[in-house]
């Protein structure tokens, strides 16, 4: 198995399950935008798999997209285990694992209970603190026997007694949130704002390390990708499900504005391909 093969299988499953045409227009294009339609058709042509005859509609598309992306990342992690060994947890949002299930955010469950019990406090502080990302990747803590598997690495005495990676420090401890990934089949202004809000929640409310915070999308318009990818400080990077295919489609369209924006996002390290994401997550 290779990353190339996993990526092809990922595209094939997307085409089989959720990517289809409606009145000749791919269902991840904006039907009201000629440019979006042209670029989406270009991506479909370059991916090259037979499309779904009856693509799902509504939230089902996003849910299945997240499931398939999670499966791709899980298999990629197994392939790269020698680079980043560990016991990893993968979950899509349908499993309803909120961030309070992880070490850095377990205190939010107490805060949520307090806000429910005191409405005036909730009015003052506002907002939901326990979000449920589309995809979460967690790492299980290690027992001392696992840490000392080949030789004694801890030694004697009160050493390394507070780190959550050492299970013996917290017998009932929770896994560590390694990554939070938002999946957006398409991007509209309201959706990009929601992704940024979730990212800021993760950054501001943590106790401990910040997880990787990324977004995966199939959006064909570089100018719309920019609404989420431009800037720094909240999202690590945006990943396109088929960036080389999008790049080729934009070039073939001759649309200079979209081409310039795409080049800005790529050279500015704000947009990468789905095949880059596993390596960025194990770095």
> Each residue of 40-79: pLDDT tens digit?
999 999 999 999 999 998 888 999 999 999 999 999 999 9
Share of the chain above pLDDT 90, in %: 69
According to the model, what pLDDT value does residue 100 have? 86
> Each residue of 195-218: pLDDT tens digit?
888 898 899 889 999 999 999 999
According to the model, what pLDDT value does residue 197 have? 85
Identify the CATH class of 3-94+183-282: alpha beta
According to the model, what pLDDT value does residue 254 have? 95
Q: Is the pLDDT of residue 34 over 60?
A: yes
According to the model, what pLDDT value does residue 183 have? 94
Dihedral angle of Cα 184, 188, 189, 195, to the nearest 10 degrees: -10
User: Mean pLDDT over all residues of the chain?
Assistant: 90
Q: Classify burial at 169, counting beta carbons within 10 Å of its beta carbon; exposed 0-12, middle 13-18, buried 19 or more.
A: middle
Q: Classify burial at 111, counting beta carbons within 10 Å of its beta carbon; exposed 0-12, middle 13-18, buried 19 or more.
A: middle
Going by pLDDT thresholds of 50, 70 and 90, the confidence category of residue 246 is very high
According to the model, what pLDDT value does residue 36 have? 96
According to the model, what pLDDT value does residue 191 have? 61
* pTM, 2 dp: 0.92
> Each residue of 167-188: pLDDT tens digit?
999 887 899 999 999 999 999 7
According to the model, what pLDDT value does residue 77 have? 94
According to the model, what pLDDT value does residue 110 have? 76
Length of the chain: 283
According to the model, what pLDDT value does residue 213 have? 96
- Per-residue burial over 176-193, b if 16 or more Cβ lie within 10 Å, else e, is bbbbbbbbbbbbeeebbe
The domain ranges of the chain are 3-94+183-282
> Each residue of 216-230: pLDDT tens digit?
999 999 999 999 999
CA distance 178 to 136: 8
Q: Is the pLDDT of residue 190 over 80?
A: no
In DSSP terms, which residues pair with 90 in a beta bridge?
A: 137
> Each residue of 110-162: pLDDT tens digit?
776 656 655 665 555 555 656 788 999 999 999 988 989 899 988 888 889 99
CA distance 153 to 144: 9
According to the model, what pLDDT value does residue 90 have? 94
Q: Is the pLDDT of residue 96 over 90?
A: no
Q: Which of 8-22, 27-41, 223-237, 250-264 has the lowest mean pLDDT?
A: 223-237
């Amino acid at each position: 198995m290779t990353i190339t093969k996993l990526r092809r299988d990922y595209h094939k499953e997307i085409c089989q399950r959720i990517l289809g045409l409606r009145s000749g227009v791919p269902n991840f294009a904006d039907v009201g935008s000629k440019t979006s339609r042209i670029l989406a058709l270009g991506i479909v042509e370059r991916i090259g798999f037979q499309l779904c005859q009856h693509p799902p509609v509504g939230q089902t598309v996003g849910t299945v997209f997240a499931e398939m992306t999670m499966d791709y990342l899980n298999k990629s992690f197994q392939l790269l285990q020698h680079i980043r060994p560990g016991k990893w947890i993968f979950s899509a949002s349908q499993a309803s694992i909120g961030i309070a299930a992880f070490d850095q955010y377990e205190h939010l469950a107490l805060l949520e209970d307090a806000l429910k019990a005191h409405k005036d406090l909730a009015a003052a502080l506002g907002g939901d603190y326990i979000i449920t990302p589309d995809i979460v990747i967690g790492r299980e803590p290690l027992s001392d026997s696992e840490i000392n598997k080949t030789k004694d690495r801890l030694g004697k005495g009160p050493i390394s007694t507070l780190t959550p990676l050492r299970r013996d420090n917290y017998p009932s401890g929770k896994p560590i949130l390694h990554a939070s990934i938002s999946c957006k089949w398409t991007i509209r202004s309201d959706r990009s704002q929601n992704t940024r809000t979730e990212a800021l929640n993760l950054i501001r409310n943590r106790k401990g390390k910040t997880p990787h915070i990324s977004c995966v999308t199939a959006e064909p318009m570089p100018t719309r990708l920019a609404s989420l990818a431009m800037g720094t400080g909240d999202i690590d990077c945006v990943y396109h499900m088929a960036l080389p295919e999008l790049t080729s489609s934009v070039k073939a369209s001759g649309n200079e504005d979209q081409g310039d924006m795409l080049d800005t996002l790529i050279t500015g390290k704000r947009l990468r391909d789905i095949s880059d994401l596993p390596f960025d997550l194990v770095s």
